[in-house]
Amino acid sequence: MSLKVDWGALTGVDDDYHGLMANNVVVCPSCGTRNRVPAVASGIPKCANCKQPLPWVVVADDLNFDEVADSSKMSVLVDLWAPWCGPCRQVGPVLEAAANEHVGKVKLVKVNVDNSPQLAQRFDARSIPTMLMMRNGQTVARQVGAPSAAALKAWVSNNLG
Ligand SMILES: [Zn+2]
């Protein structure tokens, strides 16, 4: 099963994004239905059509990172990226595949550093892509640059805790 993230929707959001109004759309890996997943929820998002758990892929920024990532009960994989960054476009789909592989265990939070200067500073993201694994608001692992897909997936698995 491969995860298809609706990049059109995500990209459209990034340019004109206001906190929790994000249009976080993921395509259900089981039935192909497009679902809007909440940026914040107590449980895990499920497909409106087939009720299977959905990979949780959301967009966050300076305004809502607290609520979306720091307060998450689930492990959070943060992707610090920017639209102009070629290696970021390589790792993006790998991270989404990892979120799909570990449904219910990890929330993938995509942060466009161009729109989130405070987060770029907080995580010292001078080089992107920078990926973080966080639990309870603490960074437990950090990966800078674009490793191979296999190495990146292994990094995610090894740091899920
Ligand atoms: Zn479904």
Residue ranges per domain, the chain?
7-158
Q: Find the catalytic residue in 28, 31, 50, 85.
A: 85
88 is catalytic: yes
The torsion angles phi and psi of 125, rounded to 5 degrees, stand at -85, 65
More confident residue, 50 or 23: 50
Q: How confident is the model at residue 138 (pLDDT cuts 50, 70, 90)?
A: very high
In whole angstroms, give the CA distance from residue 40 to residue 58: 9
In whole angstroms, give the CA distance from residue 17 to residue 83: 14
31 is catalytic: no
Compute how many other C-beta atoms are within 10 angstroms of the C-beta atom of residue 88: 22
Q: Find the catalytic residue in 28, 47, 50, 88.
A: 88
Q: How far is the CA of 150 from the centre of ligand 1 (A)?
A: 27
In whole angstroms, give the CA distance from residue 115 to residue 14: 8
Q: How confident is the model at residue 4 (pLDDT cuts 50, 70, 90)?
A: low
- So what's the pLDDT on residue 24? 86
Task: Mark the residues whose beta carbon lies below 5 A from ion ligand 1.
Answer: 28, 30-31, 33, 47, 49-50
Assign 3-class secondary structure to 55-93: CEEEEECCCCHHHHHHCCCCEEEEEEECCCCHHHHHHHH
pTM score, whole prediction: 0.84
Q: Please work out, in degrees rounded to the nearest 5, the angle formed at the alpha carbon of residue 97 by the alpha carbons of 8 and 36.
A: 45
CATH of 7-158 given 3.40.30.10, 3.40.630.30, 3.50.50.60, 3.90.1150.10: 3.40.30.10
